[in-house]
Structure 1
Amino acid sequence: MNTEKDELLELWKSYDDRLERSLRLNEQVLEKLETLRVTTSFDRVVRLKTGAVVFGMFWNAFLVFLIYHTWREPFFTISAGLSFMINIYAMIEYVRQITMIRSLDFSAPVTETQALLNKLLISVIQVMRVIPLSLPLYTTFYIKLYMIGNAGTAYWIIQTLVTAGAVALSAWLYKYISIENRNSRIVNVLIRDDGGRSIAKAEQFLEEITAFRKEEK
């Protein structure tokens, strides 16, 4: 009787070991699939930012060409020059973001990956804060010197209102778009395709990994 009991216990233990190995294998497969899903999402972001950097280089070269040929028009020169600087800042940050994305390693300690994701998110939000500062420039670049003495009062009233409105909107966006408001609908919409969605997926994945590892212990 004891022998049969021992055999049953041994059989049960063997089955339990196989089941545990199978569960671990399934978890590993799911983890690899989830890692692939997240990295694929980031690959799209990298392509988008790479394209933006390439386009920005050509656009800035075009701005330099225009500034060189229209330097006698101060409104255009100042507007184009400020736009050039904002573009340079965004391009530098995009290169930094691409580097950070390529550095992501989901097999590394969770805290390290979370810190890198947070740094990436801050950079994405910071760029999104700065870009709207160029809005007022699109309301001034077309002003010519001859218009100062020849344009009527009605024109300057409208021009002042439009520029003031653009300044107010860009200032509000700069203040509102922040890490503190990352979960707001407006900020989510603005950063979603610029890396926000991919970062959220990665953060959720890390939370699942942490929870699973705690259950194993």
Structure 2
Amino acid sequence: MEDREIINSWISYNKKLEESLQLNRKNAEDITKIKIGSLLGSMKPIKVFTILTGIIWVCFVDLLIVNLFAVASPFFLISAIIQVVLTKLAIGIYLYQLVLIHQIDITKPILETQDKLAHLRTSTLWVTRFLFLQLPVWTTFYWSANTFENGNTGLVVLQIIISLLFVIPVVWLFVNIKYENKSKKWFRLMFEGKEWTPVRSRWNY
């Protein structure tokens, strides 16, 4: 009789333990979903602001390109076109991210949420790459044919060095801004703030 009572007690204990573990897992998942929802919500304002600012900027640059096309330096036109195209790509990605954030339903299974977060993470990396690619053209838009034809050799060399000082790190960042480097100190320092922290903090889910 004693043995049966011990066995029954053991079975009862195992059952309660399993129920407790299942409840803890569910609570942990619910808390995770609430945190994800809160963090994603904090990303929306900065993305909306960036989109609106970007649209105003590309309209301004497009007008400059159209109005100055016949008289502007080829360096200015090429630099402006590269910059505005990259900005438009970034705006497109931000719009995609807003749609993605809106589609994330924290009441659905966590795996489905994780899949959308993975897309959000990937697009975050790509938009950062595109934004960095714009930097070198800020060192070339003021060049002119006269700079090279009649300019001081030392000044020309200095201009080229300045541009290379931008091109080299930008190419390095374009290659190295990827998920595999998420634990690197420079990467973590770069991806700070309301726009990046929510996505970065969810990368381990």
Partner of 1:158: 158
- Asked whether the equivalents of residues 79 and 140 of structure 1 are also in contact (C-alpha less than 8 Å), the reply is yes
- Asked whether the equivalents of residues 46 and 195 of structure 2 are also in contact (C-alpha less than 8 Å), the reply is no
**Structure 1 letter corresponding to 2:57:** W
Q: Secondary structure at the match of 1:151?
A: coil
Gaps of 5+ in 2: 1-11
Query: In the TM superposition, what is the alpha-carbon distance from 1:45 to its structure 2 partner?
Result: 1.1
- Asked if 1:58 is matched to 2:56, the reply is yes
Residues 1:142 and 1:160: Cα distance change in structure 2 (over 3 Å): same
- Asked if 1:136 is matched to 2:136, the reply is yes
Q: Secondary structure at the match of 2:192?
A: helix
State how 1:55-134 maps to structure 2 within 5 Å. Answer: 55-71=53-69, 72=71, 73-134=73-134
Residues 1:60 and 1:143: Cα distance change in structure 2 (over 3 Å): same
Partner of 1:173: 173
Equivalenced residues, count: 188
Q: Secondary structure at the match of 1:67?
A: helix
- Asked whether the equivalents of residues 90 and 127 of structure 1 are also in contact (C-alpha less than 8 Å), the reply is yes
- C-alpha distance in 1 between matches for 2:109 and 2:29: 15
- Asked whether the equivalents of residues 53 and 94 of structure 1 are also in contact (C-alpha less than 8 Å), the reply is yes
Higher share in helix? 1
Residues 1:150 and 1:203: Cα distance change in structure 2 (over 3 Å): closer
CA deviation string 1:86-127 (max 9, x = no partner):
001100000111111111122212221111111110110111
- C-alpha distance in 1 between matches for 2:184 and 2:138: 27
Residues 1:27 and 1:92: Cα distance change in structure 2 (over 3 Å): same
Identical pairs, percent: 24
- Asked whether the equivalents of residues 33 and 106 of structure 2 are also in contact (C-alpha less than 8 Å), the reply is yes
**Structure 2 letter corresponding to 1:42:** L
Residues 1:108 and 1:202: Cα distance change in structure 2 (over 3 Å): farther
How large is the Cα RMSD of the aligned pairs? 2.7
Out of 50-59 and 36-45, give the one that drifted further.
Answer: 36-45
CA deviation string 1:123-150 (max 9, x = no partner):
1011112211111101100112332322
Q: Give the TM-score normalised by the residue count of structure 2.
A: 0.79
